[in-house]
Amino acid sequence: MLKEKVQKVIDDLRQYLQADGGDIDLVDVDETKGEVKVKLKGACSGCPMAQITLTQGVEARIKEELPEIKSVVAV
């Protein structure tokens, strides 16, 4: 299932966010749209760099591993 594959990628990335005092949770995967919804927590939730982390870090890695994913959005 796609959601489990996305969760594995997020679990691999979690250590890097936690090293800076943040964290990330998978909220939902819309397989028909290819959209992943995540929640940034801790230091990430208020960080001005959070959008860059989301797009250039999390989204890029998920798309690299799972090309069927088209976007990652924070909710």
Please state, in angstroms and rounded to a whole number, the distance separating the CA atoms of residues 60 and 52.
Answer: 11
The pTM of the full predicted model, rounded to 2 decimals, is 0.91
> Distance between CA 69 and CA 48 in Å, rounded?
25
Statement: residue 3 has pLDDT above 90: yes
The tens digit of pLDDT for each residue in 32-55 reads: 999 999 999 998 888 888 888 999
8 A C-beta contact, residue 69 and residue 36? yes
Report the number of distinct structural domains present in the chain: 1
Q: How far apart are CA 69 and CA 75, in angstroms?
A: 17
pLDDT of residue 19: 92
CATH number at residue 41: 3.30.300.130
Q: Domain range spanning residue 23?
A: 2-74
